[in-house]
Amino acid sequence: MRVKFGHFIFFLTWCLAGISQPVQLSPEAQISVITCGPGSDLYASFGHSAFRVQDPEINLDLVYNYGTFDFDAPNFYLNFARGRPVFKLSRQLFVNFLYTYQLENRWVKEQILDLESKEKKDIFRFLENNYRPENRNYKYDYLWENCSTKIPEVLSNVLGKTLVFREDHLLEQYSFRELMQQNLSWNSWGSFGIDLALGSVIDRVADEEETMFLPDYVFRQMNNSSVSNRPLVSRQRTILDLNNGERAFLFTTSPLFWTLFLFVFTITITLIDYRNQTRSRWLDFVLLLLTGMSGMLITYLWFFSDHSAAANNYNILWALPFNIIIAFFMAKKGPVAKWLPRYFRVVLLILILVPVLWVADVQGFPPLASVILLILAVRYLYLDFYFRKFYPVWVNDVWKSKR
């Protein structure tokens, strides 16, 4: 895409001058909300929102983007794991912004806001102040502070009580979890990861204003808002009419394939174990290690990070963090501790709580959790049976006395 020479010179001069003199918008200036379609990567699956400021009188056409992050920033991954990722407001030429979405084959729509001259200048001044180095960074939260929530936040801060978000445009109400899953395939690792890592706090129904953590719902809300008793959006248009298309999908790489494979594999090995009156220690080790590691992740996100959406996560009832320790006990040859058989009777009872909470709508679990529960139930039941029938008294204290 070609960049107009006048735009480039203006932007370059402005940046080099450090904006020592505030730019004054002309009466021809326009403020608009840009909404972009979803992309292929997980972080882009929900689309994007930004502000556009254009003024043909002074060759100004800029995008103010609150969704910018830097992988190379100090401690970026550590801060993200802690729930403290730092995002920032960036400013760039609109043509450069648009070129990125053209390359990614993503649609771009624009809603031009019906604002008075003073309101435009106030929003522009607010964005410029936010762009100052000391103000541009903010603590990101995927539900409460992101590129989309910043759109109504900025408009509300500048326009105040003259701005009204009407609440009659949504025919149905959804929970935060349901809203997040609308742009994801249920049989994807992204969908599975979100349902695994986030707790029951996102199963609350979101009101109209809260839905604006997603770009598509910002777009809908802008069309159902008013400023000083006039519609907020004067007109809208499609800038790029592109479609990201169907994402490449291989069933053999999907979570459903691997959970079904593990289910069939576990059933087969368990039947062989039953026929031979033995126990495949390596299978028990793998199952317990995987669920234990998942439980440790859930525990960390819930209790030791700032990820507010990860609280009250009842996936921990099947992904027990204690399993990571039990795995090594079960991998040993010879007798086991006397308390170990009792452990599997207890976890079997705990597993029953998961479908109860699921049916009661206390929390939404990954759809594939039903297969995982069957895998664990089959193996735990066999272990309880094995210890009672084939391994009744062969525990550590008895073994030691015989020696």
* Domain residue ranges of the chain, discontinuous segments joined by +: 5-170+208-240, 251-402
pLDDT band of 399, cuts 50, 70, 90: very low
33 strand-pairing partners: 51, 111
Give me the residue label for tokens 């291989």: 250
- Which helix H or strand E contains 36, and what residues bound it? strand 30-36
pLDDT band of 2, cuts 50, 70, 90: very low
Q: The dihedral of CA 306, 208, 35, 53: what is its sign?
A: negative
Identify the pLDDT of residue 17: 41
Coil, strand or helix: which one is 218?
helix
Query: What is the arrangement of strands in the sheet containing 48-55, beginning at the earlier edge strand?
Result: 137-139, 86-93, 60-68, 48-55, 30-36, 108-113, 233-240
Which range, of 121-135, 237-251, 343-357, averages the lowest pLDDT? 237-251
Provide the CATH topology of domain 5-170+208-240.
endopeptidase fold (from Nostoc punctiforme) (3.90.1720)
Two tokens at 81? 């794991």
Are 332 and 366 in contact by the 8 Å Cβ rule? The answer is no
Residue 107: C-alpha distances to residues 20, 41, 76, 204, 221 (Å): 36, 15, 29, 31, 19
CA–CA distance, 105 with 243 (Å, rounded to integer): 6
Mean pLDDT computed over every residue of the chain: 88
pLDDT of 373-391, one tens digit each? Answer: 999 999 999 999 998 887 6
Provide CB contacts within 8 A for 379, sequence distance 6+: 266, 270, 283, 284, 287
Q: Is the pLDDT of residue 354 over 60?
A: yes
CA–CA distance, 127 with 162 (Å, rounded to integer): 19
Average pLDDT rounded to a whole number, residues 33-60: 93
Coil, strand or helix: which one is 138?
strand
Q: Is the pLDDT of residue 307 over 90?
A: no
Identify the pLDDT of residue 394: 47
> E-assigned strands of 96-160?
108-113, 137-139
pTM of the model: 0.85
- Which helix H or strand E contains 50, and what residues bound it? strand 48-55
pLDDT band of 306, cuts 50, 70, 90: confident
Residue 173: C-alpha distances to residues 159, 198, 209 (Å): 27, 20, 11
- Which helix H or strand E contains 227, and what residues bound it? strand 225-227
What is the pairing mode between strands 86-93 and 30-36? unpaired
pLDDT of 157-215, one tens digit each? Answer: 999 999 999 988 888 999 999 999 998 989 999 999 999 999 999 999 999 999 999 99
